[in-house]
Homo-oligomer: A and B are copies of this chain.
Amino acid sequence: MSGRPDTDMEVRAHADHHASLRLWLRLLSATTRIEDTIRQRLREQFGITLPRFDLMAQLEREPKGLSMGELSRRMMVTGGNVTSIVDQLEKEQLVQRQPQPGDRRAYAVHLTPAGREAFSSMAIAHESWIVELLSPLATQQQEQLFQLLATLKTGKASSVKPVQ
């Protein structure tokens, strides 16, 4: 902001900033491309949307079922949306609301046998699509990527070091 001339560090910092932006755009487009493909195939081949698939995936890991509130937290969407997705899945008899002994306000949502079976075939297809779409990367590269992303996963960003 002052009138003093650029130092090497400042030039370098600007270059790093642009590099971060380019990295982000590449990260976003690669991820979006894969996600869109998955979304489209789930719709075409199984007539299901990604949020519905994700909700079923949550339930599949929890045979005892999950409360609406827990589903809302795990899927990071507000309660009303969970109600609507569960309504749809229940209409197709893929999930079921089950009374919760001890609290008559709440209940456990779980997969029906038909839901479990349907999810199983979808999950197999889903995994094979992922394998296919990530196949440009060799196993070792995938491991590298996995490690790098671990740092980004939590969102506990170290603060940006100011340029000296």
- Which stretch (A19-27, A41-49, A84-92, A99-107) binds chain B? A19-27
Known pairs A20-B131, A137-B152 / 18 extra A-B pairs, C-beta < 8 Å: A16-B131, A19-B143, A20-B130, A21-B127, A22-B146, A24-B130, A26-B150, A26-B153, A27-B31, A28-B35, A30-B149, A131-B160, A133-B155, A135-B160, A137-B151, A141-B151, A145-B148, A148-B148
- The one of B16, B127, B137 that contacts A139, using a Cβ cutoff of 8 Å: B16
A residues within 8 Å of B by Cβ?
A: 16-24, 26-35, 127-128, 130-137, 139, 141-146, 148-153, 155-160
- Whether A20 lies near B142 (C-beta < 8 A) is yes
- Whether B33 lies near A31 (C-beta < 8 A) is no
CB distance from A8 to the nearest CB of B (A): 15
